[in-house]
Structure 1
Amino acid sequence: MAKPTRMAGGVLGGLVAGTIFKHVWKLASGKPEPPVADSTKYGWGEVLVAAAIQGAIFGLVRAAIERAAARDE
């Protein structure tokens, strides 16, 4: 994949993953926004679970985009 295409795919993937994560978090927690790591109003558990879910979703979206763009070389 060409570098500009790869960069565009990365940006698009990040936006898609962020949107999916916000929806998943809202459904899972019942809260409208995910916790912010540097805020003291959230506990360690909530912040770490949110980060794990966000990382898993980002990884899945990234792999899906890269797989869709893969070509036999």
Structure 2
Amino acid sequence: MNAAKIAYRPVGLLLSVAAGALAGAAFKQTWKAVGHDDDTPDALDEDRGWTEVLVASAVHGVIFAVVKAAVARSGATATRRLTGTWPA
């Protein structure tokens, strides 16, 4: 493993944390925009129905996966531009 790949590990970890926070914020805004409550449903929320909980989970998962992939890909591309090496 070369130095660029080793140096990318903490950067990749920070990018993953940032992606998770960004995805959470994007989901909350999306959930509000489609006309639901400001409070997102939780699986253990007794007042929410199965459909609402499962749809919210599916939407959250899609947003999280897309944001995480976009951030990871951007980080890898930036690393290649800076070092000439793909970090994976």
Confirm or deny a common fold (TM above 0.5).
yes
Of 25-34 and 45-54, the range deviating more from structure 2: 25-34
Aligned to 2:24: 18
- Cα RMSD, aligned residues only: 1.3
Q: Once the two structures are superposed, what CA deviation does each residue of 1:16-45 show, in whole Å capped at 9, x if it has no partner?
A: 000000000011133111101111111100
Aligned pair 1:49/2:49, yes or no? no
> For 1:35, which of 30, 41, 52 is the aligned residue?
41
The structure that has the greater radius of gyration is 2
| Structure 2: distance between partners of 1:45 and 1:30 | 13
Aligned length: 73
Q: Name structure 2 gaps, 5 residues minimum.
A: none
| Structure 2: distance between partners of 1:26 and 1:14 | 18
Q: Name structure 1 gaps, 5 residues minimum.
A: none
Task: Give the % identical residues.
Answer: 38
SS across alignment from 1:29: coil
